[in-house]
Structure 1
Amino acid sequence: MFDAVAGRRFGQPVSGSYRDRVQIPNDWVAALSERPRRFVLHHNHPDSVSLSLRDVSQLSKKGIAEIVADGHDGSWFAAQPGENMSRFEAVLSAVDSAMFKAVREAQRRGASLSGVEAHIVNMALQRAGIIGYRFELSAPKANFMRQESELASRIVEQLVASIVRVRT
């Protein structure tokens, strides 16, 4: 974790059974929910997948400016709060449900979205204005996305439609 205003790193990985957690010093916890957005949450994703909905949900905290994840295959992913984060938690829930259905449908047709599900979700969140999203995919992931571009585009549109339904 990084304080973009003060230019200092804070937080330590938690050891033990919660290796996917970072211990935030108590004096910083309150600051994560205060403006201005100044904190960058930077972590690694050993499996090289995009930001999870759990990661993205951190953007609802007023102090978080950006979340970045580096994959071990050279991929990286970054998200910032978007222009329209209304009904944020309801949107994330709807997207999660819609993506689950889309993955099942893709599997029935013989396509596997393994490793790119979160990336597709984040593209939809960006298109709907929920987040800003930047990324660089490893060559194998980029090739897969090119080969399955029609499927990915169709799923993104389905997810955006589910976001619109939640907001209206």
Structure 2
Amino acid sequence: MLHIALLNKMDRAMCAQVLSYGGRDGCEHLRAYDLRSNWDCYSGGQSPVTVAIPADLQNRLRDPLAELYIHHNHPASVSFSPVDLAVALDVNNRARGKLYAHGHDGSTYGVTLANRETIASLYKKAEAGAAQHLRFLISMSHVPFQVAKAHFSHIVCQALDMAGVMHYEFAMSQTRIDDWQRCANYLNDVVAAATDAVGR
């Protein structure tokens, strides 16, 4: 199912901040706030592929009264990594809210916070199903390798959404949409194969 990511004023401000910081140093940055208490936090600047989760944010993720909106940038503009989803869907999570990843190309990806006991194994199942199908399509020259690489995490996240594991939303940049559309029939088949793999 297609879910379009929509941001409110505070979310747009935090999106702009992490993209600005990341644009300057090429690293991931994180801003988060609790809608119910006006608490907020910042972390980042250490790595282009990961960002530290502050201890106070980790504690609030376990607070059933918290409503958290967590924003971080992805310099490579891809969707959620397994580490991202381990934070958003940790079995100990009790807070409501969303985790967002903002690509430097203008794409935005979102996932609703929840608690799942087996997110790591389910991600691996979706990943394996997608990879197997993509290898065949690449070998047949149906999908360029760079397109497959750029959309791989997005495919896995769509599969987890379709399988009912999580609620995923996105608003891709025009360039990313164009790349997807050129191979849409094949890529949609990959999503279906990855979704089936999650159910096995």
Query: 1:59, 1:65 within 8 Å by CA — same for their partners in 2?
Result: no
Cα offset, 1:65, TM superposition: 2.4
Return the match for 2:134 from 103, 123, 127.
103
User: CA separation in 2, counterparts of 1:28 and 1:114?
Assistant: 31
Q: How far does the alpha carbon of each residue in 1:55-107 deviate from its partner, in whole angstroms, 9 at most, with x for none?
A: 1222223136211011111111111147x956333211211222222332232
Return structure 1 stretches of 4+ with deviation > 4 angstroms: none
What is the aligned partner in structure 2 of residue 22 from structure 1?
A: 52
Query: Does 1:7 find its partner at 2:38?
Result: yes
The aligned amino acid for 2:187 is A
What is the aligned partner in structure 1 of residue 162 from structure 2?
A: 127
Query: 1:14, 1:22 within 8 Å by CA — same for their partners in 2?
Result: no
Q: Which runs of 5+ in 1 are unaligned?
A: none
The aligned amino acid for 1:20 is T
What is the aligned partner in structure 2 of residue 49 from structure 1?
A: 78
User: CA separation in 1, counterparts of 2:75 and 2:121?
Assistant: 29
Query: 1:59, 1:66 within 8 Å by CA — same for their partners in 2?
Result: yes
Question: Aligned residue pairs: how many?
Answer: 162
TM-score calculated relative to the size of structure 1: 0.82
Cα gap change, 1:108/1:19 in structure 2, threshold over 3 Å: closer, same or farther?
closer
Identity of aligned residues (%): 21
TM-score calculated relative to the size of structure 2: 0.70
Cα gap change, 1:92/1:78 in structure 2, threshold over 3 Å: closer, same or farther?
same
Q: Which runs of 5+ in 2 are unaligned?
A: 1-31
Cα gap change, 1:131/1:37 in structure 2, threshold over 3 Å: closer, same or farther?
farther
Query: 1:14, 1:23 within 8 Å by CA — same for their partners in 2?
Result: no
**Superposed CA RMSD:** 2.4
Cα gap change, 1:81/1:109 in structure 2, threshold over 3 Å: closer, same or farther?
farther
Query: Does 1:163 find its partner at 2:198?
Result: yes
Cα gap change, 1:105/1:4 in structure 2, threshold over 3 Å: closer, same or farther?
farther
SS at match of 1:142: helix
Structure 1 window deviating more from structure 2 (154-163 vs 93-102): it is 93-102
Structure 1 window deviating more from structure 2 (29-38 vs 119-128): it is 29-38
What is the aligned partner in structure 2 of residue 94 from structure 1?
A: 125
Query: Does 1:67 find its partner at 2:125?
Result: no
What is the aligned partner in structure 1 of residue 185 from structure 2?
A: 150
Structure 1 window deviating more from structure 2 (98-107 vs 49-58): it is 98-107
